[in-house]
Structure 1
Amino acid sequence: MAFSLLVSRYLGRPTPETRVQFGYSAPAHADRLCEVLEGEVVFDAPYTAILVPRALAHQPNIAFDHQVWQTASEMCAAEQRGQQASDPLGDFALAFEHLLAARARPPRLGEVAEHLGISQRTLIRRLQANGWTFARYREARLQPRLEQLLADPSLTLEEVASRLGFSDSSAFARSFKRRFGQTPGQFRKALDVP
């Protein structure tokens, strides 16, 4: 309903050539719908849709102001540049978070690159240009989760390793010791986790 009215306002005139069709029988308030909606209103159609003739898309918008459009475009471009400058890893970070939330394990380099539609090598270069490696970013991003999982006494070290995307607990232990200077078991013991 709002779309039909929007088309009318966009053109600055009624649009009786539009057709609003509903994929269900006429409701009790069908008469009111026919009053409010401009153009033809049809019930029991094969699908629900608002059909607008293609020719209406080529009609000028009465509210169009080139100066306003140009100013708005420049403001959007400036805001985008500002966001990129303040968060150079923005697209990468969003893709990493999206994939992390969608999987039971952290994403791999190839998965993030594929999600961004770029090659792994291009992603590596982008990260390096901003002082990161994929492994270092992944570790930094997963550290809070790692600490949370290790603090949970109901999880074995094998389960923690699996949830963090390691193929086995020994690979997890080696990586953990290299980063933190102690084994996951020693870390747990320091937390007084049974």
Structure 2
Amino acid sequence: MRNSPTLRVALQDFAINQHRNAHGGVTYLLEDKMHAFFGYAVYQPNVPGQYLICDGAAMGAFTIFSELAGTGQASALEVLLARSEPRDVSHYRHSFGVKLAFNADQTAVVFPRRMLDQPIAGADVRRRIVIEKRIQTLWHAGYIDLVTQLRRELRVALIRGNFSATTIAEQLGMSRRTLDRRLNASGVNFQEVLDETRCEYAQQLLECTRMTIANIATIVGYADPSILTRGFVRWAGVTPSQWRAKLGREADTCAGFAF
């Protein structure tokens, strides 16, 4: 990343190659008209300690950005945390030193999109080529099957707000028909994997934030909370409100925790 030509390429390098290091979560770089989002999301179901993963991912993204863009650029950042605000936020304020947004729909650092074109100081093009070749041959966390690849893509697509099967198939490098055929061979279909990914995302937000169920339904792509409820019952066996209450914390999962 330090030998990438721009900040955009550097962050894309991390996102593209992150699966070589570990599975279960996905790093992403998203852009809208004004902002860029460098974040991390867990797609593996039933991972404990979501709020700790959220904290660690946020600090990792913040550190990477600061090192590549320069510490003087940190004031342009906002850190989104997909967890509720702890009772004592002083540790967070001291560690990040920038604007914080708890109860967010994602864990990411947000900065002006124009900064993506910023050159990386001291980048060496020739060294980058050598490192790229080494990464391709030596660094791999293991095979990722198609269903897992789909979960990774869908988890980010839900944040982006575009999760059509045709678009996802293109991102996976195949046609919609080929994707359907290969998924059927694995014993699942696109809608089933999408619903499971939505419910996992909803479960994370129910556990770690104070968001209302209506807001969560909108975030995971449902026009009506009742649709989320029906899908959640099929997936988890209880309604979202029952699942949240079962935790024994009533949407205050992380209130007592800090670094």
TM-score norm. by structure 1 comes to 0.46
- Structure having the higher strand fraction is 2
- Structure having the higher helix fraction is 1
Q: Please identify the structure whose Cα radius of gyration is greater.
A: 1
Of structures 1 and 2, the one scoring higher in RCO (CA 8 A, sep 6+) is 2
